[in-house]
Amino acid sequence: MKLITNKVYGAEDILPEDSYKWQFIEEIMRGQAQSYGFKEIRTPVFEHTELFNRSVGDTTDIVQKEMYTFTTKGGDSLSLKPEGTAGAARAMLEHGLYNDGYPIKVYYLTACYRYEKKNYGRQREFHQFGMEVYGAPSPYADAEVICAANSIFDRLGVKNIRLEINSIGCPDCRPKYHKALREYFEENKDCLCDTCRTRLERNPMRILDCKEKECSEIAKGAPKVLDYICDDCKGHFEGVKSCLDAAEIKYTVNPTIVRGLDYYTRTVFEFVSDEIGTVCGGGRYDGLIEELGGQHTPSLGFGMGMERLLILLDKQGIEAEKPLNCDLYVVGLSEAAKLKAFSIVEGVRNSSLIAEGDIVGRKLRPQMKYADKIGAKFSMVIGDDELTANKAVVKNMYTGAKKEVPLDDGFYEAFFSFYVNGAQDSLMEKLGLDIEE
């Protein structure tokens, strides 16, 4: 069979055999976000290109090289979102969420798009979990966001992941650092890539984040930002560290972290694994809301790459909780019996259990094979004899135990009683206990 097309390069299908892994980590992410008082926000997959130019920064690799940008039939320039923060910030402003008072705490699960070379754990379409806080200038807010991210790794059982933090200063102290960087990189200008030469005057910090080998090597000897931050930024950074110490969150100070987006100020952080690299990154962006047309609003947050997290879980042998199996499979042999089976299946589903029946047209034996394949806990066969007697036999597929149940309204009470007892028997058998005891 020849398909008319295949999936687009850099995008992946998430098949049923893997989707439960996504649901597993998403449930934990939602649960932890809610425990920290965050509420979900959902924003469009595309925005006006100007939003990302202003927020992400037109000197970043993302804007200069990686965004999917297109012109609509009406002449508007739109871009697929390359990250989640800008859209969330725009929505907060546009809908006046600040009118409800600060802090505003939101989280999101979203697809993002960057036109970059497909790499291990990095796709052109990737998925990001993020948490954002608006209106919180305190270092306690920085520490809380870091703790929230850390709690997700703890809940998942991730091992050997380290927290690295840094401060990149504020608009008051950063000009001094930019001057020192320009002087350093000017001596190596001829060795920089074309993109970094254009960054030298406008935003030399972006050179520190360049992925080109020569630029990365040169950047290793560049001045360190912590040597240039002002007293206020130093005090804030010390406050963050004190909070993390109080929460017993281990960290190391890494003065080379600058993050890849222009909106960051003061605190930046990354959760890094030696097995796969950076899994989560974030920090403070106190000037972002002003840049988008709002009032000065201290803000911060993080983004966590879900594909990379799933790879890390697999590497560490951390298994996602598998989906529930079928509780009851009902076989109908005749047309009248099939209708009765269909009715019972729907009734069991309405009682919040998982039930299945044949919708393909299989005979008895193939149906029982299918019931076994999907891991059905119980099965029941209904034929004309069972309809006449108004009774049928339910079988526990794990233990072999059987119980006769009525096919009228008394079925549900009888089946659920057998179901509960069967669950207890299965647990005792699993623990190696004598069911008769």
If pLDDT is split at 50, 70 and 90, which confidence band does 393 have?
A: very high
What pLDDT shows up at residue 51? Answer: 92
Return the higher-pLDDT residue of 405 and 264: 405
Is the pLDDT score of 250 beyond 70? yes
343 neighbors 330 (Cβ within 8 angstroms): no
Residue position matching structure tokens 């002087």: 183
Per-residue pLDDT tens digits for 396-427: 999 999 999 999 989 999 999 998 876 555 54
Per-residue pLDDT tens digits for 28-55: 999 999 999 999 999 999 999 999 988 7
- The residues facing 104 across adjacent strands are 134
What pLDDT shows up at residue 58? Answer: 62
User: Global pTM?
Assistant: 0.85
What pLDDT shows up at residue 400? Answer: 92
80 neighbors 45 (Cβ within 8 angstroms): yes
Is the pLDDT score of 184 beyond 60? yes
If pLDDT is split at 50, 70 and 90, which confidence band does 428 have?
A: very low
* Contact residues for 272 (Cβ-Cβ < 8 A; gap 6+): 161, 162, 163, 164, 278, 279
The amino acid present at 306, given as its one-letter code, is: M
Per-residue pLDDT tens digits for 309-322: 999 999 999 999 88
CA 371/CA 239 separation, integer angstroms: 59
> Which domains, and CATH codes, for the chain?
16-173+229-315 (3.30.930.10), 328-423 (3.40.50.800)
What pLDDT shows up at residue 425? Answer: 52
Return the higher-pLDDT residue of 198 and 110: 110
What pLDDT shows up at residue 86? Answer: 93
Residue position matching structure tokens 């966590």: 304
Is the pLDDT score of 430 beyond 70? no
What pLDDT shows up at residue 423? Answer: 57
Stretch 72-78: mean pLDDT, rounded? 94
Is the pLDDT score of 368 beyond 80? yes
Per-residue pLDDT tens digits for 266-303: 999 999 998 999 999 999 999 899 999 999 999 999 99
The candidate with the shortest Cα–Cα distance to 205, out of 186, 178, 169, 171, is 178
What pLDDT shows up at residue 120? Answer: 67
> Which of 55-59, 205-209, 380-384 has maximum average pLDDT?
380-384
Is the pLDDT score of 218 beyond 80? yes
> Which of 83-87, 142-146, 421-425 has maximum average pLDDT?
142-146
What pLDDT shows up at residue 60? Answer: 64
What pLDDT shows up at residue 262? Answer: 66
383 φ, ψ (degrees, to nearest 5): -125, -170
Q: Quick one: DSSP state of residue 8?
A: P
If pLDDT is split at 50, 70 and 90, which confidence band does 324 have?
A: confident
The candidate with the shortest Cα–Cα distance to 257, out of 225, 302, 212, is 225
Instruction: Indicate the pairing of strand 77-80 with strand 104-113.
Output: unpaired
Stretch 50-73: mean pLDDT, rounded? 81
Is the pLDDT score of 96 beyond 70? yes
Is the pLDDT score of 429 beyond 60? no
If pLDDT is split at 50, 70 and 90, which confidence band does 433 have?
A: very low
Lowest mean pLDDT among 96-105, 182-191, 208-217: 208-217
What pLDDT shows up at residue 282? Answer: 94
Is the pLDDT score of 377 beyond 90? yes
In the chain, the percentage of residues whose pLDDT exceeds 90 is 68
The overall longest dimension of the chain from CA atoms, in Å, is 95
Is the pLDDT score of 437 beyond 50? no
